Structure 1
Amino acid sequence: MFTLRPDDALRARKVDRLCRFFWRAGAVLLALLLNACSVGPNFSRPPAPKVSQFVHGDPLRSPLAGAGSEQSFSAQTAVPSDWWTRFGSLAIDSAVDEALTGNATIESAQAALRQSDDEMRAGAGVFFPQVDAGFGASRQKYSPARLGGNQPSTLFNLFTLSASITYAVDIWGGQRRMVEALRARADAQRYTVLATYLTLTANVVNAMIARAAYRDQIATTREMAELLREQVRITRAQVEAGASAYAAVLTLENELATLEASVPALEQKRAQAEDLLASLCGMLPADWRAPELSLADIALPPTLPDTVPALLVQQRPDILQAEAALHVASADIGVATANLLPGITLSASGGYDSTSMDALLHRAGQVWAVAADVTAPVFHGGTLWFQRQAALDAYAQTRASYRQVVLNAFAQVADTLRALENDALALDAQTRARDAAAEALRLIKADYSAGTVGYLQILIADSQFHQARIAWLQGVAQRLQDTVALYAALGGGWDSPP
């Protein structure tokens, strides 16, 4: 008879504790493999460019003065979501509201966003067991001769009721990476919608400003044409009196014809601006009319946001869209890597088979199966390996594209800031030229009242004043549009409260 000695019992207890330890450790390790292991790189946001300002050299002077108005930059000024209201025009606000509610591109982008969200939710279904149920009814004829028997054929009905459940164990995190990529695609589409909003609102405001500028230029040009017609009439009278040569009439008529020819071109540009606004608002040109607007009705925003360059990458929709695309490429690497590794699928099925519908749920016809399948890729001709290499190459390509988007964004902001500075300088000079022409006209009118000059000199001075005014109007419109460009370049303020 075998007797267990005390030291053997102690040794057995130690072995038992050791086995329990390894069993628990193995269970914990298995749980970690099933729930925490994700191959491939973990995505992190690319670092922002380490610069303190957008422009090269000395920072911009502030305030930017021109045409009696100033613009200054302030770090306390945020970019509001409804940035177009800073121009103080109800006509512009109304046009933007119509565009945001009726634009077809916005509607398409929103539908694409809903599609990407639904695809992400559909992809998340891989985390749950897949349960299916089925019912089948058939009439069959069975011949025992197929198995070497001599019995006659049998004709019978077969009814089958079954259910199955399968679950793919995400050991390496490939499914999680796939859902991560779908979520990043949804983010990219969300930023596409924001970029579409920003582009749309900027286009509407720019079109309204351009239309107002064309309107004012047309009015001023027609006034100049009337003055030239008066000059032609007076010069003809001087020619008939022998006080002037006929060449002077021809010169004035040539100038008048050139000026009159510029009016249809301006009318065409104004009509194109109106047609563009109708299209942006989702309406036909024949069904929509832009509200009347003059440059005098548009206020220049006096305070502009002084955004830190490092924050630009966090608020421009196109940069955020490129970042989301980079996230997709990163997650695709994990998916391709997981495809190289073994996979486990758990499954179970059960049901009832019966030749009679009444006895379908009888215990005698009960069937079931439980299985665990392990599949490991052995040889695929390099397909899986090069798919992973392709994912790595796609990531490198997307990273370079992201870098280029950031560079373009910073260049756009720098260009806009310099443009605003130059606009102020140019408009200041144009304002002085307009004021000088107005003063010259006033003095010539005084001389005409004193009888020292003729009326023709007044017409000439008045024409010069109108020419200076047209140049001034163009400068005002350019400054307003470059201000719009700054708001757009800074991202439109979608992350700031309205």
Structure 2
Amino acid sequence: MKKTLLLLPLLLAGCSFAPHYQRPSTPPATQWKPVEGWQPAAPADDRPRGDWWTAFDDATLNDLMGRAIARNNTLAQAVATYREARAATKEARASFFPTVSLDGSVTHTATGASRTIVNGSTSSTGSKSSTNYAVTLGASWEPDLFGKVANTVSNAKATEQARLADLANARLALEGELATDYLSLRASDAQIASYTATLAAYQRALQITTNQYNAGIAPHSDVYQAQSQLASAQSDLEGEKRTRTQFEDAIAVLVGENPATFTLPSIGTTWAPTVPDVPVALPSAILQRRPDIASAERQVAAANAEIGVEKAAFFPTVSLSADGGFNNNSLAGLFTSAASLWSVGAQVAETILDFGARSARVRQAREAYNAQVANYRQVTLTAFQDVQDNLVASVVLAKQETLLRQASVAADKSEQSLLNQYRAGTIAYTDVATAQATALTARRALIQAQVDRQNAAVALVQALGGGWQQADLTNGAEAQRAEDLHKAEQP
């Protein structure tokens, strides 16, 4: 009978009241919506998944990415949050084991001298003192009879895994934001170079109209119109310089530097945008690749374990304790058998009446679980939407760039032709001004289309959960999480 009582805690230790966990179902998806003109790209086997931005073939971007990953404060915050969650898991696991304490004390007691008068005579008693030495070793343990500790650990572990996925998501967001800002800055460089060339052409046009006016061939209004167009373009150039500065400042913050001391040299007219082909995984693979989906799923698991924690409150708690030590008024005799003492105890506690508080907490836990399930499904649907939208954007923007390039070439030719006709005096300057404005707009639109294609490629990479590998598109997320875990564990 005694053996049965001793084994009872061990037999009940595996009991858990958390519902059996299954990953929530999501809407079935086996393919992407057909997009005219799109063909699956061949995976770039020479591009490592973690360094997907190297596909843009820009050494400056590669350098900035390294600096951002090492110094970005938002990423550092995500690392610290993950480490905090990992420490919380270790704390929860410690509850499986007894708590052991060691106490030592020395007590010195003294009484003062006293005087007593009896029948007219006085007697005195001297002061007394004593010293007591004690050493006590104690242990207490609350066996996990109904799975409260086990489910608490499961909750903490799932939360830790969610924070690791959040870390991967923070890194992916940082990489995407930095790439977008940098590519936009380079497009701004191209816009500034285009404006600079346009201003030179407008200056020449102003000189032509001035000469025509001085010769009595053209009215003064032609000069005014040329001056207005030149000043307007100069104002637009200043606005573009401001835009570039804003992108430069944003990049400085992302790489952890002071914008006041951070600069990126302009590349002028050497901009040659590269748009990589991004292999698109099947919809089912997105569930394994995207860190935000992984985080949402782990939060569901944590909420499921919390239900078990709250259900365990309906059952009694058992606490076991044991103390042993030595107590003596002599240090030399402290550790003798005569000075030894020990005690063993057990305590059972149960809540008899709480007016529905425990039931309410269980209902709260269940609804928190339902909320996390809904969030997981919403995150998944949003992920599918992100990929589909950016897949369409990649195809449409490629077509637009081709058409805008044709429009820009035609507008440039029209501008030059009308300017020659104006010199010959066969047309009014209004026609030239209109052609010049059309050509400038076409050039700006072409540059914007080019950077939009690059940014769409970045967005598609983010929507897919990161870069790619030729061998396996679905194992990349695990590799990235392992890399993030290794970096997060560094001191």
Identify whether the pair has TM-score above 0.5, normalized to the shorter chain. yes
Deviations 1:403-430 (A, max 9, x none): 2222222222222122112212221210
CA distance in 2, matches of 1:90, 1:50: 41
Unaligned runs of 5+ in 2: 112-124, 468-475, 481-491
1:420–1:483 contact (8 Å) kept in structure 2: yes
* Secondary structure, aligned partner of 1:208: helix
Match of 1:159 among 133, 137, 144: 133
1:141–1:156 contact (8 Å) kept in structure 2: yes
Deviation at 1:255, TM superposition (A): 1.7
| 1:33 and 2:12 correspond | yes
Deviation at 1:160, TM superposition (A): 1.5
- One-letter code of the match for 2:409? D
Deviation at 1:96, TM superposition (A): 0.8
Deviation at 1:442, TM superposition (A): 7.3
CA distance in 1, matches of 2:479, 2:420: 57
CA distance in 2, matches of 1:435, 1:314: 45
**Distance of aligned partners of 1:293 and 1:312 in 2 relative to their CA distance in 1, 3 Å threshold:** farther
Deviation at 1:447, TM superposition (A): 8.7
| 1:73 and 2:52 correspond | no
Matches within 5 A, 1:303-314: 303-314=277-288
* Secondary structure, aligned partner of 1:314: helix
1:129–1:167 contact (8 Å) kept in structure 2: yes
CA distance in 1, matches of 2:265, 2:334: 76
Q: Which residue is equivalent to 2:489?
A: none
CA distance in 2, matches of 1:431, 1:39: 66
Deviations 1:307-327 (A, max 9, x none): 111221221111111112212
- One-letter code of the match for 1:216? A
| 1:300 and 2:265 correspond | no
2:290–2:477 contact (8 Å) kept in structure 1: no
Matches within 5 A, 1:260-409: 260-293=234-267, 296-301=271-276, 303-409=277-383
CA distance in 2, matches of 1:362, 1:497: 61
CA distance in 1, matches of 2:136, 2:8: 35
1:227–1:462 contact (8 Å) kept in structure 2: no
Q: Which residue is equivalent to 1:148?
A: none
Deviations 1:284-303 (A, max 9, x none): 123332254467343111x3
Q: Which residue is equivalent to 1:104?
A: 73
**Distance of aligned partners of 1:453 and 1:300 in 2 relative to their CA distance in 1, 3 Å threshold:** farther
Q: Which residue is equivalent to 2:108?
A: 139
| 1:182 and 2:160 correspond | no
Deviation at 1:239, TM superposition (A): 2.1
Deviations 1:354-379 (A, max 9, x none): 12222211222211112232222212
Deviation at 1:262, TM superposition (A): 0.6
**Distance of aligned partners of 1:446 and 1:73 in 2 relative to their CA distance in 1, 3 Å threshold:** farther
Deviation at 1:200, TM superposition (A): 0.8
TM-score, scaled to structure 2: 0.84
1:131–1:166 contact (8 Å) kept in structure 2: yes
* Secondary structure, aligned partner of 1:131: strand
Deviation at 1:305, TM superposition (A): 1.5
1:89–1:297 contact (8 Å) kept in structure 2: no
| 1:61 and 2:36 correspond | yes
1:99–1:281 contact (8 Å) kept in structure 2: yes
2:280–2:464 contact (8 Å) kept in structure 1: no
Match of 2:23 among 21, 41, 45: 45
Deviation at 1:208, TM superposition (A): 1.0
- In percent, how many aligned pairs have the same letter? 27
Match of 2:85 among 116, 119, 127: 116
* Secondary structure, aligned partner of 1:356: coil
Q: Which residue is equivalent to 1:207?
A: 181
**Distance of aligned partners of 1:453 and 1:92 in 2 relative to their CA distance in 1, 3 Å threshold:** farther
Match of 1:495 among 437, 453, 477: 477
2:229–2:433 contact (8 Å) kept in structure 1: no
Q: Which residue is equivalent to 2:473?
A: none
1:427–1:475 contact (8 Å) kept in structure 2: yes
Q: Which residue is equivalent to 1:257?
A: 231
| 1:129 and 2:98 correspond | yes
CA distance in 1, matches of 2:373, 2:292: 14
Q: Which residue is equivalent to 1:8?
A: none
Q: How many pairs were matched up?
A: 454
1:80–1:492 contact (8 Å) kept in structure 2: yes
TM-score, scaled to structure 1: 0.83
| 1:85 and 2:33 correspond | no
Higher mean alpha-carbon deviation, 460-469 vs 376-385, is at: 460-469
